[in-house]
Amino acid sequence: MNAEILAVGSELLLGQITNTNARFISSQLSELGINVFYHTVVGDNAQRLEQAIEVAESRADLIIFSGGLGPTKDDLTKETIARHLGVSLEFDEVALTYIEQFFAKRGRPMTENNRKQALILAGSEVLANHHGMAPGMILTKNDRTYILLPGPPKELEPMFQFEAKPKLAAMLNDGGIIASHVMRFYGIGEAELEVRVQSILDAQTNPTVAPLASDGEVTLRVTAKAATEQQAQQLIAAKVAEIQALVGEYQYGVDDDSLASKTVEMLLDNKLTIAAAESLTAGLFQSELAEIPGVGNALIGGIVTYAADAKVKQLGISQELIDTHGVVSSECAAAMASAVREKFSTNIGIGLTGEAGPTAHDHQPVGTVWIGIAIEDEEPLTYLLHLSGMRNTNRLRAVKFTCHYLMQLLEERGYTKRYR
Amino acid sequence: MNAEILAVGSELLLGQITNTNARFISSQLSELGINVFYHTVVGDNAQRLEQAIEVAESRADLIIFSGGLGPTKDDLTKETIARHLGVSLEFDEVALTYIEQFFAKRGRPMTENNRKQALILAGSEVLANHHGMAPGMILTKNDRTYILLPGPPKELEPMFQFEAKPKLAAMLNDGGIIASHVMRFYGIGEAELEVRVQSILDAQTNPTVAPLASDGEVTLRVTAKAATEQQAQQLIAAKVAEIQALVGEYQYGVDDDSLASKTVEMLLDNKLTIAAAESLTAGLFQSELAEIPGVGNALIGGIVTYAADAKVKQLGISQELIDTHGVVSSECAAAMASAVREKFSTNIGIGLTGEAGPTAHDHQPVGTVWIGIAIEDEEPLTYLLHLSGMRNTNRLRAVKFTCHYLMQLLEERGYTKRYR
């Protein structure tokens, strides 16, 4: 099966947004072993879109469209494909009801163009959209398969992964399958990790091992091809063991894990409660933990002390400590961690203070961050970071390092950590 | 002049990297007033590349290639174009010397492959590469212009901007320029906004008006074509005024503004201080404000009361209020806003409480959010949201609505808001 990915949207051709959907769909298709030979982007223009469809039909038997399913005048993907294939558009009752409820809920008026979003190609199978209003669809005609997906990545990615991908996998007749497993590392640079696993990278055949770095994290994607899922998983497990023998101490999770999700998991598994006092991160640490459902049993709350003054008034940090050591100091981070832990009566207290940038305020260079971690019945520990990113990269890195150090500390103290 | 951007590289089709070059080149071309009708991505395969070139020649008179100029055997852009156009490849002495010096400097042996990088299309003009070894080139043949650029963005972007763009500008006989302005709206759906400005969308010629929706926000991009920058800006200003007459009350900013940046700007302009008590958002509101440099003069801090209990202990909300109305209630949001404002002695206090999901805890449906806003010397006001997104979309939407309502309130009270 050879695929072409056809993105529709003038905003792409104007350079307003990047076609990240093509990358996402391509990586998903490669996991299925489907070859992608071309990506095409065309604007919101029926005639040029139809020409692009004809070109795609001349060189692919799977055509995946992204974008142009919205309610507005320039959304014409469905209409153009319908005309091109000579199939009609009909209302999908499920989608229509979903859209009506969407507006009823918000008490917003529903316009005729919103109804238009519930139109689907006759004979197509609907791909449910759980994050927006435009349903996707999959249609096979003249031995060619057409998949229509909405443009916003938040809608397209889950729809492809959970609705379209399984249908494609079923359509592939060569029983061979491709399974893939992502190992997530923190606290080690990409270059250093690659050097450590060089022998494995050089010798790779099946499974393949692909390193990727982003947001200060490094991942290794282990991909195996086999006749059955079970055989593929055995190949992956063996390779993962080899890798862990070399750099296991830096692995924090797998697949869709995040540092925050693993931290929350570890807190919940061990029935530990946590509170945080945040300066430069201004609530980002707590907010990242709060992204994980169920966190309520671990995260009690905390205090944002953005103004230096608030550290004294709200946390009871002594003015003398601040005068002596400054707010960006080991002493202040430790005091913040201890104070917030006591104030919220939790097992763990976190203190975050530093210079996010762009300008420094406390005689410390931009990028200086002190992390304080106070564990019940122990002296608080502190960690120093020298970050070199922009303001908000530094704030996020500070949060990630906090999760990383906290998990290390808890593991050293014998608290259970899940490995999969 | 109509352009097609043709990226060459299997790593793009495997989904290993995103085609950011197409976005960059497109935005650069739109500044020149050159229409881009298609982007194409093809792998490192001579036959498919030549087919893609034929397709591009059938629909564009400017074809810009990115990638495939490297030293390895996968790099075959030059060779394929040379064969396709029937022109020879010859060594460029300047490029060759540059490459030789590069290796001499590093005392590394120079291979035959590296020499190959100095080969250029006969009759083409070289585009110097100041950040890598592969020279770019520009060639006009049969009334069609071909531009070859290296794949790495750090080489491609400066080469296009400083080498290719001036040559293109010179080729364009009409000195016309394109200017564009983005209007940002909140609190109105894309479809509804379109209906309101339908007359403008239908009548558009120059400037053009393009709607785009993302993350609950809607933008209108107004793009004008004119002989001079000043004329273009006049056309834009007139169109913007027309649009504001219809939906101005929903516009919060322009271009790169965000709801958070405009909120911070308004707080700083009016010397107002703010504190927040956050439940479902768990610090996200404060963290979003803290993304903006200089916020320290407005954001004093706040309290995250994730556990119901923390609302009582840390904010002094009466247990009776919670027992009577629940934590997800207008009364609780108002009390949180007032309490945190007093506790931090600020002009404004924000209270955020709700059910982010996936499961409800307080007899309220998931997506129910109460926002409390307490302004000094006033009774707190509250706002009810019914959100239908996933947990973290709901949390972010709650923050955006808070900024939206706060700015509305402050404007009603006569505080200055900047419009550009």
Q: How far apart are CA A79 and CA B190, in angstroms?
A: 20
What is the reported pLDDT for A68?
94
Q: Mean pLDDT across chain A, nearest whole number?
A: 91
Q: How far apart are CA B81 and CA A89, in angstroms?
A: 43
Determine the distance in angstroms separating the CA of A250 from the nearest CA of chain B, rounded to an integer.
Answer: 23
Higher pLDDT, A84 or A393: A84
**CA neighbor of A380 nearest in space, from A342, A327, A417, A354:** A342
**CA neighbor of B263 nearest in space, from B382, B418, B136:** B418
Q: Could you report the per-residue pLDDT of B25-52, keeping only the tens digit for each?
A: 998 898 788 999 999 999 989 999 999 9
**Structure ipTM over 0.95, yes or no:** no
Sign of CA dihedral B41, B44, B48, B53: positive
The mean pLDDT of A342-346, rounded to a whole number, is 97
Contact A102/B at CB under 8 A: yes
Residue B90, Cβ density class (10 Å: 0-12 exposed, 13-18 middle, ≥19 buried): middle
Cβ neighbours of A210 in B, within 8 Å: 16
Q: Could you report the per-residue pLDDT of B222-267, keeping only the tens digit for each?
A: 888 888 889 989 999 999 999 999 999 899 999 889 999 999 999 9
Verify whether the Cβ–Cβ distance A302 to B307 is below 8 Å.
Answer: no
User: Six-digit token pair at A402?
Assistant: 């906090």
Q: How far apart are CA B89 and CA A310, in angstroms?
A: 69
**Tokens 């998903």 sit on residue:** A28
Q: How far apart are CA A78 and CA A121, in angstroms?
A: 7
- Name the least confident of A207-211, A290-294, B26-30, B177-181: B177-181
Local structure of residue A124 (DSSP, 8 states):
P
Most confident range, picked from A25-34, A280-289, B5-14, B253-262: A280-289
Q: How far apart are CA A202 and CA A242, in angstroms?
A: 14
Contact B400/A at CB under 8 A: no
- Name the least confident of A38-52, A274-288, B139-153, B225-239: B225-239
- Name the least confident of A337-346, B70-79, B174-183: B174-183
**Nearest residue of chain A to residue B36 (CA atoms):** A13
Sequence-separated (6 or more) residues with CB below 8 Å from residue A41? A6, A7, A8, A9, A12, A13, A19, A22, B22, B38, B39, B40
The mean pLDDT of B288-307, rounded to a whole number, is 95
User: Six-digit token pair at B271?
Assistant: 């010397």
Which is it for strands A381-386 and A299-305: parallel, antiparallel or unpaired?
Answer: unpaired
Amino acid at B379: E
**Nearest residue of chain B to residue A395 (CA atoms):** B291
User: Six-digit token pair at A107?
Assistant: 């008490």
Contact A289/B at CB under 8 A: yes
Q: How far apart are CA A82 and CA A75, in angstroms?
A: 13
DSSP A201-255: HHH-SSSEEEEEEETTEEEEEEEEEESSHHHHHHHHHHHHHHHHHHHGGGEEEET
Determine the distance in angstroms separating the CA of B208 from the nearest CA of chain A, rounded to an integer.
Answer: 12
pLDDT surpasses 70 at A173: no
Verify whether the Cβ–Cβ distance B278 to A281 is below 8 Å.
Answer: no
Given pLDDT bands bounded at 50, 70 and 90, which one contains residue B210?
A: confident
The mean pLDDT of A107-115, rounded to a whole number, is 83
Given pLDDT bands bounded at 50, 70 and 90, which one contains residue A381?
A: very high
Contact B310/A at CB under 8 A: yes
Verify whether the Cβ–Cβ distance B37 to A55 is below 8 Å.
Answer: no
User: B54 in the Ramachandran plot: left (φ > 0), alpha (ψ -120 to 50) or beta?
Assistant: alpha
Determine the residue among A28, A41, A273, A399 to mutate to test chain B binding: the one whose Cβ has the most chain B Cβ atoms within 10 Å.
A41
Q: Could you report the per-residue pLDDT of A300-342, keeping only the tens digit for each?
A: 999 999 998 999 999 999 999 999 999 999 999 999 999 999 9
Verify whether the Cβ–Cβ distance A301 to B302 is below 8 Å.
Answer: no
What is the reported pLDDT for A175?
58
Count interface pairs A-B at CB distance under 8 A: 273
Given pLDDT bands bounded at 50, 70 and 90, which one contains residue A108?
A: confident
Helix-helix angle B391-412:B259-269, to 10 degrees? 30
Cβ–Cβ < 8 Å for B402, B289: no
Alpha helices by DSSP H, listed for B122-228, are 153-159, 165-171, 190-196, 198-203
Q: How far apart are CA A412 and CA B119, in angstroms?
A: 59
The mean pLDDT of A122-139, rounded to a whole number, is 92
**Nearest residue of chain B to residue A284 (CA atoms):** B287
User: Which residue from B195, B305, B306 is facing A111, i.e. has the nearest CB?
Assistant: B195
Helix-helix angle A308-315:A330-343, to 10 degrees? 40
- Name the least confident of A195-199, B10-14, B112-116: B112-116
Given pLDDT bands bounded at 50, 70 and 90, which one contains residue A174?
A: low
What is the reported pLDDT for A176?
67
Determine the residue among A12, A13, A75 to mutate to test chain B binding: the one whose Cβ has the most chain B Cβ atoms within 10 Å.
A13
Q: Could you report the per-residue pLDDT of A410-420, keeping only the tens digit for each?
A: 999 999 988 75
Given pLDDT bands bounded at 50, 70 and 90, which one contains residue B175?
A: low
Calculate the dihedral angle through the C-alpha atoms of A410, A414, A416, A418, rounding to the nearest 10 degrees: 80
User: B9 in the Ramachandran plot: left (φ > 0), alpha (ψ -120 to 50) or beta?
Assistant: left
CA distances from B386 to A135, A377, B259, B277, B288 (A): 22, 44, 20, 20, 21
Determine the distance in angstroms separating the CA of A154 from the nearest CA of chain B, rounded to an integer.
Answer: 9
Determine the distance in angstroms separating the CA of B314 from the nearest CA of chain A, rounded to an integer.
Answer: 8
Q: Which helix (H) or strand (E) holds A92?
A: none
Given pLDDT bands bounded at 50, 70 and 90, which one contains residue B336?
A: very high
Q: Which helix (H) or strand (E) holds B64?
A: strand B62-66
Determine the residue among B47, B160, B287 to mutate to test chain A binding: the one whose Cβ has the most chain A Cβ atoms within 10 Å.
B287
Sequence-separated (6 or more) residues with CB below 8 Å from residue A372? A330, A332, A333, A334, A335, A336, A337, A338, A349, A350, A351, A352, A353, A380, A381, A382
Question: Residue A370, Cα to own-chain centre: how many angstroms?
Answer: 27
Q: Three-class SS of residue A300?
A: strand
pLDDT surpasses 90 at A377: yes
**CA neighbor of B402 nearest in space, from B257, B294, B280:** B280
The mean pLDDT of B91-96, rounded to a whole number, is 91
Q: Could you report the per-residue pLDDT of A175-191, keeping only the tens digit for each?
A: 567 778 889 999 887 77
CA distances from B221 to B254, B259, B412 (A): 10, 17, 27
pLDDT surpasses 70 at B214: yes
Given pLDDT bands bounded at 50, 70 and 90, which one contains residue A376?
A: very high
Q: How far apart are CA B184 and CA B253, in angstroms?
A: 5
Q: Could you report the per-residue pLDDT of A233-276, keeping only the tens digit for each?
A: 999 999 999 999 999 989 999 988 999 999 999 999 999 999 99
Cβ–Cβ < 8 Å for A52, B40: no
Verify whether the Cβ–Cβ distance A306 to B304 is below 8 Å.
Answer: no
